[in-house]
Amino acid sequence: MPIFSRRWLLPVLCFINAAACAAETPPSSERFVARAVTSLTSGIRYKFGGTDPDSGLDCSAFIALLYKDAGGGDLPRTAREISEVGAHIDAGALQPGDLVFFRNTQGGIAHVGIYVGGENFVHASRKHGVIYQSRLNEPYWKSRFKGARRLPQS
């Protein structure tokens, strides 16, 4: 009698295939970060209030698009509303995939980016007009840093 009879072959192959697929599929935060880094060369333009990648995105629409593409679902429309989603994270505990928020001159949250590690974050930049990578420890961003959140993972 063979080691595996035919009735066991299909379940074993299904298990092996499922395990291999699970190992190849990164967690949502890794997909989120990978899409953010890839977007740096995408040519997507910044557009205030923009929600369409073809005509331009603002910071919150950019983050919402990346999160949805990574399998995370829908996010609210504005940076302020997004800042209420997920768990608060101290700046010293940032991990790639966490969102970083910045205040405007009135103190309210007006900008969001995705932390990609090494003090870097990717965001839709009004000043640069495109998807851009900046450093959290630059004086401009450091002085405006308002907080960070970790979004739910899929």
C-alpha angle with apex 85: 82 to 90, nearest 5 degrees?
A: 100
Residue 52 or residue 25, greater confidence = 52
Q: What is the pLDDT of residue 15?
A: 37
Give the Å distances, CA to CA, from 96 to 19, 25, 46, 56, 110: 25, 17, 23, 25, 21
Q: What is the per-residue DSSP string for 60-124?
A: HHHHHHHHHHTT-----SSHHHHTTSSEEE-GGG--TT-EEEEE-TTSSEEEEEEEEETTEEEEE
pTM for this predicted structure: 0.79
pLDDT at residue 104 is higher than 50: yes
* Residue 152 pLDDT level (bands cut at 50, 70, 90): confident
At a CB cut-off of 8 Å and minimum separation 6, what does 76 contact? 60, 64, 82, 84, 85
How high does pLDDT run on average in the chain?
83
pLDDT in tens, 39-54: 888 889 999 999 999 9
Residue 11 confidence class, pLDDT cut points 50, 70, 90? very low
CB under 8 Å to 64, separation ≥6 — which residues?
Answer: 74, 75, 76, 77, 82
- pLDDT mean over 83-105: 95
Q: Is the separation of the CB atoms in 135 and 72 below 8 Å?
A: no
Q: Is the pLDDT of residue 8 over 60?
A: no
Question: What average pLDDT does this structure show over 100-113?
Answer: 94
The CATH number that domain 26-148 falls under is 3.90.1720.10
Confidence of residue 91 (pLDDT cuts 50, 70, 90): very high
What are the catalytic residues? Answer: 59, 111, 123
